[in-house]
Structure 1
Amino acid sequence: MASFTSDGVRIAYDDLSPPAGTERTIVLIHGFASNRNEGWKRTGWYSAFERRRMRVIALDQRGHGESEKLYDPAAYRREKLAGDVLALMDHLGVPRADVFGYSMGTRTALAVALAAPERVSNLILGGVGGKLLEPSPAVAGEPMADAMLAEDPTTIAEPMLRSFRQFADEQGEDRQALAAVTRVKNLPLDRDALAALAMPVLVVAGQGDTGAGDPQGLACIFPHGHAVTVAGCDHFSAIPHALTKAAVFDFLDGLLDDDFPAFE
């Protein structure tokens, strides 16, 4: 396992280059309760990018996978997660790359693009849509943290919360750290700042991803935004799907137009 220290926190990562030579570099940022192996390697993204002769850099976000576990919610502020990504790029001598985030990883990817737009060639936002910019609905208590800490997961009534808890258990994640991640208080994303991002942006989500909303609702904010809806997929099944990969590669190849196509 390769690792480095970012702001005093140990971050695990992979850095894979195809033997035939590298044409471009992509940085992959996984979602909540996932890790680089589950989010990107097992789902076929490593091999798909390597076949395209791309250098693949993927980290375990702090609190996840093999990276250091922290229990203070303030350690997971969005700017700290973005700082880990930029520090990793510095550590590996990568001045500029494509950046691909999924779910929680999209928020980190957006924070990277806002903090250092000159370092992001293309920005890919997966598992999100127009709901990303809507005010968070009022919720009593801390339901996701409670789900992570529940002694008996069968007592979790809400299906989405139960799915994330099951996923965390399957990955052997540190549920105390994940609970801290959910308790962080970030400021809302600045719509005007997002609208000023000049790089090409792809927003892609499954048709059945009710938590994301319509990808077009987010993509239309960006000057060079593109949206793809992957039919027949929900939040989890869209990640490994061949049509999601096709959308990402078409985007990177400059083959998407601004008509916000749906992949079916």
Structure 2
Amino acid sequence: MPEETVRSLSVDGLRYSYRVLRRTGPDTGPHTEPVVVLGGALQGMLGWPQMDGRLGPVANVVTADLPGMGSAAPLPPGPSADILCAAVTRIIDDLGVPRVNLFGFSYGAALAFRCAQHNPGRIARLMLGGVPAHITEAQRAHWQCATDRLAAGDREGFATLVTEALMCLDPDRYVARRDLAYRYVRRSMLHAVEHSPHAADSMFRSLGDRPDFSGGLSGVPALVFTGEHDTVTSAERQRAFAATIRGSRFTTIRDADHWVVLEKADEVAELVLRFFTDRPLEPAGYLSAVPHQSHPGVRPRP
């Protein structure tokens, strides 16, 4: 059994914790820097089993309940990006390593990008998925309706509206495992608001905070990926964001939407493994040799 450790930290007086799953491969085998995984607003340290399984042989896998998430202390009112970025930096310091690989998905992509901007020397490689680089006012209105349902005590209605906001339900666009993903996401949202003391606050905060994806980035190898049918932020807009990161690469994954990490879990985990271990992406059909261009296994973008 892999060795698992949970450590407690604090930042600005806020208690939180992170989990390390120790690398299972031999000391003489291939390995890479620890992989720190940052997920969505309601995704905590136990939500990434596919990463544990695929990355475990080559890296320590690090997940966290950051302030305002899971069992951690609630965040104070006001902007939280600096606090969360400091919390991630504390994790890197506590690991005792000079650099980590950083994976950010959805809400976590904004945090990962900000951390890389603030501390590029601490990030060996950066991978961002389902990047919410552009949110429309209509989307914000939908989210507001969902949080209003939650405030009124309608958890079922909240879970339904949030799930609808995060998935492509257009029958003319094929999404693998759509029905299964819908049920899983809705059930997860409902479970979170029923069992996490901070779930409601996290949802209100994710609505109120406007993640900043401006400013660009250089000096950090980066890969941005998305499901081709992502309806939170389109693949085209995510590719435009990727172009602000010098030397980055971009790909879309076929037959998936914003929940690509669930609908195409094996493909995403393999892509993460290859990128973080500097293995070629092109032979596996994951990425074209041309930066910011989709691969076969993925639908080309004009």
Q: Is the TM value for this pair above 0.5?
A: yes
CA contact (8 A) 1:99 1:122 kept: yes
For residue 8 of structure 2, give the secondary structure of its aligned residue in structure 1. Answer: strand
| Letter of the 1:49 counterpart | L
Among residues 67, 82, 100, which one is paired with 1:62 in the alignment? 67
| Pairing 1:258–2:290 present | yes
Give identity over the alignment, percent.
Answer: 23
Give how far 1:150 is off: 4.0
| Pairing 1:176–2:208 present | no
| Pairing 1:31–2:40 present | yes
Q: Distance in 1 between matches of 2:250 and 2:211?
A: 25
For structure 1, list consecutive stretches of 5 or more residues without a partner in the other structure: none
Pairing 1:70-85 to 2, within 5 Å after superposition: 70=75, 72-74=76-78, 77-85=80-88
Partner residue, 1:97: 100
Give how far 1:198 is off: 2.0
Q: Distance in 1 between matches of 2:135 and 2:55?
A: 35
Give how far 1:35 is off: 1.1
| Pairing 1:111–2:114 present | yes
Pairing 1:208-247 to 2, within 5 Å after superposition: 208-214=229-235, 215-239=238-262, 241-247=265-271
| Pairing 1:199–2:203 present | no
Deviates more, 1:100-109 or 1:234-243: 234-243
Q: Distance in 2 between matches of 1:236 and 1:181?
A: 21
Give how far 1:46 is off: 1.0
For residue 10 of structure 1, give the secondary structure of its aligned residue in structure 2. Answer: strand
Among residues 50, 55, 80, which one is paired with 1:49 in the alignment? 55
| Letter of the 1:9 counterpart | L
User: Cα 1:237–1:188, aligned 2, differ >3 Å: closer, same or farther?
Assistant: closer
| Pairing 1:167–2:191 present | no
1:68-115: CA deviation from partner (whole Å, max 9, x where unpaired): 233x432x5212111110011112212211100110000010110111
For structure 2, list consecutive stretches of 5 or more residues without a partner in the other structure: 1-5, 168-181, 282-288
TM-score (structure 2 length as normaliser): 0.73
User: Cα 1:121–1:65, aligned 2, differ >3 Å: closer, same or farther?
Assistant: same
Moved >6 Å (runs of 4+): 161-165
User: Cα 1:94–1:211, aligned 2, differ >3 Å: closer, same or farther?
Assistant: same
Which has the larger Rg? 2
Q: Distance in 1 between matches of 2:149 and 2:128?
A: 26
Q: Distance in 1 between matches of 2:136 and 2:77?
A: 18
Give how far 1:145 is off: 2.9
Q: Distance in 1 between matches of 2:150 and 2:228?
A: 27
Give how far 1:30 is off: 1.3
Give how far 1:136 is off: 4.2
TM-score (structure 1 length as normaliser): 0.83
1:237-260: CA deviation from partner (whole Å, max 9, x where unpaired): 434621112222232325243342
Q: Distance in 2 between matches of 1:179 and 1:247?
A: 29
CA contact (8 A) 2:229 2:257 kept: yes
Q: Distance in 2 between matches of 1:228 and 1:161?
A: 20
| Letter of the 2:266 counterpart | A
User: Cα 1:83–1:136, aligned 2, differ >3 Å: closer, same or farther?
Assistant: farther
Q: Distance in 1 between matches of 2:213 and 2:241?
A: 12
Q: Distance in 1 between matches of 2:191 and 2:135?
A: 31
- Aligned CA-pair RMSD: 2.7
Deviates more, 1:86-95 or 1:148-157: 148-157
